[in-house]
Structure 1
Amino acid sequence: MANRRSFLKGSIAGAVLASLSPLSSLADQKHGEHNFSKNKGKLRFAIASDGHYGQPGTDFKKDHENIIRWLNEAHAKTPLDFVIINGDLVHDRPELLIEVKRNYYDKLKVPFYAIPGNHDHADTAHWEKVFGYEDNFSIEKNGIGFVLANTSNTKGIYLCPDNKFLKQEFEKFKGLKIVFVVLHIPPHLWVPENPFVECAETISLLHEYPNIKAIFHGHDHSLDGVFYTDKLPHFFDSHIGGNWGTAYRGYRIVEVSEDNKITTFQVNASQNPLLNETKLL
């Protein structure tokens, strides 16, 4: 369904997806600067992932101070409707979810929504207690549907999403022109070395609904581009924190115009120009 060529094309930061209309991607924008339009359009949101709050040996508090400041600055320049945090909010300590929410994400100037990753180790009850909604949920904003589903469990095992839930929500949004899906762990193995899962039923289900325009993933901190299953794009957004991944910290902006044109670009928020560093012994 996809091949190594798709992987190589999608993993190069800065690629312009000219072959995919009406959805395109630009990487390495600074602090959300992008000449989308003078007005915000129908919808504008940011998506970020992999903060790993509490990971030993990392400056996780500084990482979170930074991402909140960057997102609020981006909102001040061109308003955001909301922010999505796509998994691994904490690092193997679910009791810290309330702390990272209260001390950081609650300080965003816009609403935010979060979905678990494999390092959050939270069950449905705990997730709902902290965030006010379950670990599988959907929202509709300005006529655009969002389906967010858990892809792990309390042991951190990589799982396929609940396809029964996905189909139920896809059917609910069948009359909408645009639906986005958010899954922390991707449901397809593009190349053997990727730490993803193969979920043939999920991929088939995603392709059944032509109004599903893009899937957004976290999990692999080294990726900030796009992969494909057939012509359906799967976008990545680098990372907020943690001790590995792209040299920069960043997030992705997604914009939908009034005439339903979709644009997405990756933001190099930390403005770190270092690329492809390799240390050899």
Structure 2
Amino acid sequence: MSNRRSFIKGSVAGVVLAGLAPSVSVMAVTGHDNGATSGRKPKLRFAIASDGHYGQPGTDYKKDHENIVRWLNEAHAKSPLNFVIINGDLVHDRPDLLAVVKKEHYDHLRVPFYAIPGNHDHADAAIWKSVFGYEDNFSFEKNDIGFVLANTSDTAGKYLCPNNDFLKQELDKFKELKAVFVVLHIPPHFWVPESPFVECPDTIKLLHSYPNVKAVFHGHDHSLDAVFYTNKLPHFFDAHIGGNWGTSYRGYRIVEVDDENKISTYQVNASAHPLLNETKF
């Protein structure tokens, strides 16, 4: 697994790409997050991370989770976060550990957090609500920005398209907002060979039909930390928190929205190892 698509380096460190999509820019940061990119306090700032795989045999999963909580708390201390989103695979095939990872790790975040299931969580609406207090498909609004989070798996770990009826219902609810973000653990489109994704043309068509859907965030593929597109809609990845394969570093993504609803996002190489795109000559 660690060699899967080894030709994909995933990182875009040190590169700023403006105009990738309407009002969205993207970059990457090596080392710890140093705060807002614009120098001004954004109206909304959040972090998104995925794939902790708590309980995976042969991995130092407790240390991985101690690290991510510490890194996110440090980022919050430097430039306040409104909240954190954990985008799936919180545990590794052990839904009984969901309450453990929440209590022993994520509850120690100094900001609110939201979580959505991945295929390794083996969770349905009842399991998710019993641990987190909300179901596996939910939405919320913060500072006039809408968030729609949908499950893309089941208790057997099957890769699924999201519930499009739910997506439409929530996107309709937020249709007057200037910006909406969608969070799906498993991506609904194949961009690269041997992708562990699903092809969901109806989902893509639905997302494209709402101009205020500005970005979609995915986990699942630990080797990806950059951006792909369906038409002009950006789909962002954030590497991984834990597990035994993927990028050689652990990290997370920061998203900022300013008062004019311009969006910036950057990937943080939180473990700062290795250096990204290092060249010697």
With normalisation by structure 1, the TM-score equals: 0.92
Instruction: Please tell me whether the aligned partners of residues 35 and 78 of structure 2 are also in contact (alpha carbons under 8 angstroms).
Output: no
Q: Which moved more, 1:22-31 or 1:184-193?
A: 22-31
Match of 2:256 in 1: 255
The one-letter amino acid paired with 1:11 is G
**Letter of the structure 2 residue corresponding to residue 18 of structure 1:** A
2: CA distance, partners of 1:33 / 1:259: 22
1:59 aligns with 2:60: yes
Measure the CA separation in 2 of the matches of 1:38 and 1:13.
21
Q: Where do residues 43-192 of structure 1 align in structure 2 (5 Å cutoff)?
A: 43-192=44-193
SS in 2 for 1:239: coil
Q: 1:16 offset after TM fit, Å?
A: 2.8
Is the 1:29–1:265 contact (alpha carbons within 8 Å) kept by the matching residues of 2? no
Secondary structure of 1:128's aligned partner? helix
For 1:219-238, list aligned pairs within 5 A. Answer: 219-238=220-239
Q: Is the 8 A contact 2:177 2:212 kept in 1?
A: yes
CA contact (8 A) 2:257 2:263 kept: yes
Instruction: Find the residue that maps to 1:19 and give its secondary structure.
Output: strand
Give the C-alpha shift of residue 12 in structure 1. Answer: 4.1
Match of 1:5 in 2: none
Q: Distance in 2 between matches of 1:234 and 1:38?
A: 25
2:37 corresponds in structure 1 to 36
Q: CA deviation at 1:9?
A: 9.9
Contact 1:144 1:178 survives alignment (8 Å): yes
Q: 1:11: which partner in 2?
A: 10
Q: Matched residues in 2 for 1:49 and 1:264: separation?
A: 16
After TM superposition, give the deviation of residue 275 of structure 1 in Å: 6.0
| SS of equivalent residue, structure 2 residue 34 | coil
Contact 2:35 2:75 in 1 (8 A): no
* Structure-2 separation of matches of 1:25 and 1:18: 7
Aligned AA for 1:260? Answer: N
- Identify which range, 260-269 or 11-20, moves more after superposition: 11-20
Q: Deviations over 1:60-114 (max 9, x none)?
A: 0000000000000000000000000000000000000000000000000000000
Mapped to 2, the partners of 1:98 and 1:81 lie a distance apart of 23
Q: What CA RMSD, in Å, does the superposition of the two structures yield over aligned residues?
A: 1.6
- Between the two proteins, what is the percent identity of the paired residues? 74
Q: CA deviation at 1:259?
A: 1.1
Shift of 1:34: 4.3
Q: Secondary structure at the match of 1:11?
A: coil
Query: Cα distance, 1:40 vs. partner?
Result: 2.5
Offset of residue 38 of structure 1: 4.2
What's 1:205 paired with?
Answer: 206
- How far is 1:54 from its partner? 0.1
Distance 2:236 2:58 in 1: 28
* 2:98 counterpart SS class: helix
Query: Partners in 1 of 2:180 and 2:30 — Cα distance?
Result: 25
Deviation at 1:36, TM superposition (A): 2.2
Q: In the superposition, relative to structure 1, how do residues 201 and 123 fare at CA in structure 2: closer, same or farther (>3 Å)?
A: same
Q: Could you say if the C-alpha distance between residues 184 and 194 of structure 1 is closer, same or farther in structure 2, counting changes exceeding 3 Å?
A: same
Provide the C-alpha distance between the structure 1 equivalents of 2:247 and 2:8, rounded to a whole number of angstroms. 17
Question: Does the aligned pair in 2 maintain the 1:250–1:270 contact within 8 Å?
Answer: yes
- Structure 1 runs (4+) greater than 6 angstroms displaced: none
Specify the code of the residue in structure 1 equivalent to 2:141: E
Seen in structure 2, the aligned counterparts of structure 1 residues 11 and 26 have a Cα distance that, compared at 3 Å, is same
Q: Distance in 2 between matches of 1:35 and 1:121?
A: 36
